[in-house]
Structure 1
Amino acid sequence: MNDTKFFPTNKALVTVIAASVVVIIALGIRQTFGMFYFDFATDLDITITQFGFTMGLQLLLWGVFSPMFGIITDKYGGNIAIFIGFVFYLLAILLFYSGFNTGYYFTITIGILVGVGLGSTAISIPVSVVAKHFPVSSRTIATGIVTSAGSFGYFISPLITRYSLVEHGWENTMLFFCFFLGLGLIVALFVSTPKIPVGTNQNNNQTAREALKEAFSNKSYIYLTLGFFVCGWHIALVATHIPTYMIDKGLPDWCAAMVLALIGLFNMVGTITSGYLATRYSQKILLSAIYLLRGVSIIYFIFLPPSVFNSVIFGITFGMLWLSTVPPTNGIIGKVFGTKYIGLLYGIVFVSHQIGSFLGAYLSGVFYELNGNFDYAWYISIALSIFAGLIHLPIKEKPIERPQIA
Structure 2
Amino acid sequence: MTSTDEAWRRRWLLVIAGGIVMGAALGVRNVQGLFLLPVTLDRGWSRETFGFALALQNLLWGFAQPLTGMIADRYGSARVIFAGIVLYALGLAIMAHAATVGVYTLGVGVLVGIALSGTAFGAVYGALSRLFPAERRSWALGMAGMIGGFGQFCMVPFAQDMIGSIGWAAAIGVLAAVMLAIAPLAAWLRDRPAAHGSEAGANETVRAAVKEALSHRGFWLLNLGFFSCGFQLAFIGTHMPAWLLDRGMSARQASMALAIIALANTVGTFLCGYAGGFLRRKYLLSGIYFVRAGAMALFVTLPLTPASLYVFAFVMGLTWLGTVPLTNGLVSQVFGVRYIATLFGFVFFGHQLGGFFGVWLGAVVYDATHSYAMLWNGSIMLGVISGLLHLPIDDRRVDRVAIQGVQAA
Under TM normalisation by the shorter chain, which class is it?
Answer: over 0.9
Counterpart in the other structure of 1:350: 348
- 2:387: which partner in 1? 389
310-319 or 142-151, larger mean C-alpha shift: 142-151
Aligned 1:161-172 pairs, distance under 5 A: 161-172=159-170
Query: Matches of 2:359 and 2:5 in 1, distance apart?
Result: 39
- Structure 2 counterpart of 1:321, from 319, 323, 341: 319
Q: In structure 1, what is the Cα distance between the partners aligned to 2:52 and 2:122?
A: 23
1:75-94 correspondence runs (5 A): 75-94=74-93
Structure 1 residue 195: Cα displacement: 4.9
State TM-score, norm by structure 2. 0.94
Give the deviation of 1:348 after TM superposition. Answer: 0.6
Distance in 2 separating the partners of 1:9 and 1:71: 29
Whole-angstrom distance in 2 between the partners of 1:107 and 1:175: 16
From 101, 104, 107, the counterpart of 2:105: 107
User: Residue 282 of structure 2 aligns with which residue?
Assistant: 284
**Mapping of residues 35-114 of structure 1, within 5 Å:** 35-97=34-96, 99-114=97-112
Contact preservation (8 Å) 2:362, 2:375: yes
Determine if the alignment matches structure 1 residue 229 to structure 2 residue 227.
Answer: yes
Residue 15 (structure 2) pairs with residue 16 (structure 1): yes
Which whole-Å CA distance do the structure 2 matches of 1:249 and 1:347 have between them?
38
Maintained 8 Å contact 1:7/1:13: no
In the TM superposition, what is the alpha-carbon distance from 1:45 to its structure 2 partner? 1.8
Q: Map 1:7-406; keep pairs closer than 5 Å.
A: 12-97=11-96, 99-197=97-195, 201=199, 204-403=202-401
Code of the aligned partner of 2:368: L
Check whether the contact 2:223–2:350 (CA below 8 A) recurs between aligned residues.
Answer: yes
One-letter identity of the residue aligned with 1:327: P
Give the superposition deviation at 1:9. Answer: 7.0
The answer on whether the counterparts of 1:364 and 1:377 sit within 8 Å (CA) in structure 2 is yes
- The residue type equivalent to 2:339 in the other structure is Y
Greater fraction helix = 2
Distance 2:390 2:147 in 1: 26
Q: How much does 1:22 deviate?
A: 0.6
Q: Which runs of 5+ in 1 are unaligned?
A: none
Contact residue 200 and residue 340 of structure 1 kept, 8 A: no
Q: Alpha-carbon deviation of 1:153?
A: 2.4
Cα displacement (A) at 1:101:
3.9
Unaligned runs of 5+ in 2: none
CA distance in 1, matches of 2:369, 2:102: 26
Q: Percent identity?
A: 33
Distance 1:219 1:101 in 2: 47
Contact 1:53 1:362 in 2 (8 A): yes
| Residue 276 to residue 198, structure 1, CA distance change in 2 (3 Å) | farther
Distance 1:117 1:54, change over 3 A: same
Give the Cα–Cα distance (whole angstroms) in 2 for the partners of residues 212 and 5 of structure 1.
37
- Deviation, structure 1 residue 151: 1.3
- CA deviation vs aligned residue, 1:355-404 (integer Å, no higher than 9, x gap): 00000000011111111110000101011011011000111111100136
Secondary structure of residue in 1 paired with 2:45: coil
In structure 2, the residue corresponding to 1:340 is in which secondary structure?
A: coil
User: How many residue pairs are counted as aligned between the two chains?
Assistant: 403
Q: Describe the SS at the equivalent of 1:281.
A: coil
> 1:346 Cα deviation (Å)?
0.4
Please, what is the CA RMSD of the aligned residues? 2.0
Aligned-partner residue type, residue 239 of structure 2: H
Contact kept, 8 Å, 1:57 with 1:111, in 2: the verdict is yes
Normalized against structure 1, the TM-score is what? 0.95
Q: Secondary structure at the match of 2:362?
A: helix
Tell me, in whole angstroms, the C-alpha distance in 1 between the residues paired with 2:261 and 2:197: 33
1:15 Cα deviation from its structure 2 partner = 2.6
AA of the residue aligned to 1:44: R
After TM superposition, give the deviation of residue 150 of structure 1 in Å: 2.3
SS of residue paired to 1:403: helix
Shift of 1:188: 1.7
Conserved in 2, the CA contact under 8 Å of 1:19 and 1:146?
Answer: yes
Cα–Cα, structure 1 residues 54 and 175, in superposed 2: closer, same or farther, change >3 Å?
same
Deviation per residue, 1:84-130 (Å, 9 max, x gap): 11121111122233x32422111111111110111111122101110
The answer to whether the Cα contact below 8 Å between 2:94 and 2:104 also exists between their aligned partners in 1 is: no
Contact 1:233 1:361 in 2 (8 A): yes
Kept after mapping to 1: 8 A contact 2:93/2:107: no
Distance 1:6 1:337, change over 3 A: farther
- Amino acid of the structure 1 residue aligned with 2:53: T
Question: Tell me, what secondary structure is at the counterpart of 1:190?
Answer: helix
Deviations 1:125-184 (A, max 9, x none): 101110112233331221111222221122111111111111111122112112211112
Deviating more after overlay: 16-25 vs 280-289: 16-25
Contact 1:200 1:339 in 2 (8 A): no
Question: Could you tell which deviates more after superposition, 285-294 or 199-208?
Answer: 199-208
Counterpart contact for 2:153–2:262, Cα < 8 Å = yes
Structure 1 residue 6, shift from structure 2 partner: 10
CA shift, 1:200, in A, is: 5.3
